[in-house]
Amino acid sequence: MFERLLVANRGEIAVRVMRTAREMGITTIAVYSDADRDSMHVRYADEAYNLPGTTVRESYLNTERILEIIKRSGAQAVHPGYGFFSENTDFARAIESSGVVFVGPPPKAIEIMGDKISSRIAATAAGVAGVPGTAEVLQSAEEIITFGNQHGWPVAIKAAYGGGGRGMRVVHSASEAADALSSAQREALASFGRDECYLERYLTWPRHVEMQIIGDTHGNIVWLGERDCSCQRRHQKLIEESPAPDFPNDIRVQMGEAAVKVAKACGYYNAGTVEFLYQDGQFYFLEMNTRLQVEHPITEAVTGLDLVELQLRVAAGEPLGFAQHEVTHRGHAIEIRLNAEDPSAGRFIPSPGPITRFDRADGPGVRTDAGYEAGDAVSQYYDNLIAKLVVWAPDRERAIARAVRALHETKLEGVTTTIPADLAILTHPDFAAAQHSTKWVEDRLDLSALPVGPTANDTDTSPAPTEVVAEVNGKRVAVKLFLPDVGPTPASRTNQTSNASPTPRSARPQGSTSSSGSGSGNVTVPMQGTVVKVSVEVGQEVQVGDTVIVLEAMKMENSILAERNGTISEIKVQPGDTVGTGDVVAVIS
């Protein structure tokens, strides 16, 4: 087993990986951007090194700099987490070429399965049927129109090198094709460093059911059970559970065996997830995620296995140590993602800013995997996942009740979170009856009554002791000073960090991604972000609902729309500009 592990990621997944590594006696090494200088994963690690820059491409997607830190830190292995470089073949090859262990599948498997197009081809060759779609990279909007006319609308544009709903757009008609393709490509490039996309038929009322697999370098591959991830917004998951409800066991076995076939077809080892769409008693191969999944804790809860430990042991060359017939399942587990988003009226607007209070739930069968503590700031530059609340109970009914109880105990203030929407889902009769689908949250769940904005309380943030952080030649060194009568420093865990200086949440205009601006004609933005597209020009006539700009915040694109009819008399921003909450970006006369 290696002794020094670098985690090439941030947030809760970096902390989660480091926790298991620490239990195994492995020294943990973090990397951090300028905006993450005092983040929780940095404080938790044994050592931490700076990745100069703020944006993802400057920092966490900077292969050259990460390789320098690997050499300098003496890391013997690299865990990529999920997102960023976790499914990047070139990164995996660069790690292995440097003589360091990549904690993941072989680069060739990532190349086949990390590319969603070639994964469809490989799954078909293995005898596992997928959703009807294309096997070539999209070159133009005309290809979308031709596919839609042939297979029927709507169709889905998907990032070939991504996952988690990033770089995915649903196209309902030919007129939407060009803009949807451009938007999907921009988001894919920002999130994964690649902008290739492909097409799939968009099923009408499917459930998203995925199968966790694990394999070793000795030829053993097993499936560990399925997860139902159908509660989604913007094709990104909110709540997951295992086992899938109202799911026949014969289908479960068939899906597990199909997942193993797909894995064997590409010479896979380490942890991976084969995703399927399930509708009318049939399942279709969707894609394979060649990495650890966000929702892996619920599989851990029902199997009693530590997937990160298994990953590390497999990467070190150890056999799994168990066979398929030895995998057992017990009870029911639910994971709730706690995101910094305002879900009121179903808008799910990104909500970056400082966390003023974070009280975690406790009690039997409750686990919280977090990447933040009170005093930390959720940055506009990265994913908005704050934490994952995981509950386990002997059966689904009690797991739902425990999840509701735990959500009520969780106090997250300073930013608006998805907790009200999570409660609306868990307490809905459709969810109890397992009648939901991937479209249920956006199409049928009524979120109009959800409160708008946060309920922040003043808190005593006096630090004791004061923690002073020094950065020596790019390496972070933290020193605690017991100094009386000294105010809190930006590095204090219990105080607001220097990672960001957002506008106070109470001053945030209550707009939405589909309606921004005021009666005066000032078009304002409801969150911090970066302008990626200006859709109008001075002198152009606009109507209510027309897109004025496209804003990227927390790795999601948000259309800022005109609230009144009129003529664009002034444009105050251009692509690449960073804007803050309430900033005026255009004027309509």
**Is a pLDDT exceeding 70 seen at residue 511?**
no
Closest Cα to residue 292, out of 279, 278, 305? 305
**pTM for the complete prediction?**
0.79
Tell me if 464 sits within 8 A of 487, measured CB to CB: no
Which pLDDT tens digit goes with each residue over 373-415? 999 999 988 999 999 999 999 999 999 999 999 999 999 999 9
pLDDT over 60 (residue 11)? yes
The predicted-structure confidence for 361-372, as pLDDT tens digits, reads as follows 999 999 999 999
3-state secondary structure of 386: strand
Res 519: pLDDT:
60
pLDDT band at 331 (very low <50, low <70, confident <90, very high): very high
Which candidate, 127, 120, 155, places its Cα nearest to that of 141? 155
CA distance 37 to 129: 46
Find out whether 271 and 291 touch, Cβ atoms under 8 Å.
yes
pLDDT-derived band at 420, boundaries 50, 70, 90: very high
Average per-residue pLDDT for the chain? 89
- Is 564 in contact with 515 (CB distance < 8 Å)? no
Max mean pLDDT among 70-84, 160-174, 517-531 falls in 70-84
* Percentage with pLDDT > 70 across the chain: 90
Domains and CATH numbers, the chain: 4-103 (3.40.50.20), 132-201 (3.30.1490.20), 509-588 (2.40.50.100)
158-172, 306-320, 536-550 — most confident range: 306-320
Q: Which residues contact 475 (CB under 8 A, 6 or more apart)?
A: 47, 48, 49, 50
The dihedral over CA atoms of 292, 415, 458, 35, expressed in degrees to the nearest 10, equals: 70
Read off φ and ψ for residue 401, nearest 5 degrees: -60, -40
Span 250-263, mean pLDDT?
Answer: 98
Q: Which residues of 440-470 are buried (b: 16+ CB within 10 A; e: fewer)?
A: bbeeebebeebeeebebeeeeeebeebbbbe
**pLDDT attached to residue 486:** 40
**β-strand 221-233 against 282-289: which pairing, if any?**
unpaired
Confidence band for 483, pLDDT divided at 50, 70 and 90? low
3-state SS, residue 308: helix
CB 181 within 8 A of CB 160: no
Q: Given this model, what pLDDT does residue 138 score?
A: 96
Nearby residues of 264 by Cβ (< 8 Å), 6 or more positions away: 126, 221
Q: Is the pLDDT of residue 569 over 50?
A: yes
Q: Per-residue confidence at 465, pLDDT binned at 50, 70, 90?
A: low
pLDDT in tens, 98-133: 999 999 999 999 999 977 788 889 999 999 999 889
